[in-house]
Amino acid sequence: MFARFRQTPRRLQVSLIATSRINGTVRHEHIASLGSVPLAPSSADRIAFWTKLHQRLDALANRVDAAQRGATLAAVHARIPMPTQAEQQAVLIEHGREDAEQWQQIAEMGTEQAADLKGLADRAQQQAAAVAQQAANSTAHADAAKARLAKVEAGEELPVPKPLTRAEILRISGMTEAEIRRCVQVHEIAEAGGFGRLLTEIHIRTEKAERSAMRAMHRRLVQR
């Protein structure tokens, strides 16, 4: 039984082969694949390979005895050196550093997102307060108009202002034609029971737009 090495353009593959002689002819039998590594393996690559190598040989304990296992490990070590304790420690430190940096980046992204959302909420609250005040003023005018209408309908002679023009409505509301059309559309969607789906669709499209802008900016500033 021996370890066979096969090199591909990018990796070195290892397999366990058993030999036997049948009618004077040597036959080779593939027992198991023992894994593979890149042609120039890093310490991390060799650690991962050797970890799985021991696991594979453990699973073959019923076919590979202690002597065969030792010979296989020695042959593999000659081609793919077993990682030293110092190399394992260095990889652990590197992984620990990467783990800490990744979580720090995630925390920073979360903090920035929370700040952005708070800013949106603050602006929305300010806009809501302004709109609420405008609505209160409009309600007062509406109540006065209704009271005046009631008196006129009762026969009282009172000066009645002309109906507001479209331009005056836009000026008083502080909205553009496009904004009014948007409000009407939102109202109609809500009346049709689709407001929740509208919010979901807006969120999805916003995320897509952000990712597209990020890729474009990365190509422009980083990959140029």
Express each pLDDT in 188-199 by its tens digit: 888 888 888 888
Per-residue pLDDT reduced to its tens digit, 110-127:
888 888 878 877 887 887
Stated pTM of the model: 0.51
Question: What pLDDT, on a 0 to 100 scale, did the predictor assign at position 224?
Answer: 64
Mean pLDDT of the chain: 87
Question: What pLDDT, on a 0 to 100 scale, did the predictor assign at position 16?
Answer: 94
What is the pLDDT confidence band of residue 36, given thresholds at 50, 70 and 90? Answer: very high
Q: What is the mean pLDDT of residues 28-47?
A: 93
Strands 11-22 and 25-38: antiparallel
What number of other Cβ atoms are within 10 A of residue 56's Cβ? 16
Q: What is the mean pLDDT of residues 70-96?
A: 93
> With 80 as the cut, is the pLDDT of residue 130 above it?
no
> Bigger pLDDT: 121 or 59?
59
What is the pLDDT confidence band of residue 40, given thresholds at 50, 70 and 90? Answer: very high
Distances 23 to 1, 2, 20, 31 between C-alpha atoms, Å:
19, 21, 10, 21
d(C-alpha 219, C-alpha 224), whole Å: 6
> With 90 as the cut, is the pLDDT of residue 39 above it?
yes
Q: What is the mean pLDDT of residues 126-146?
A: 84
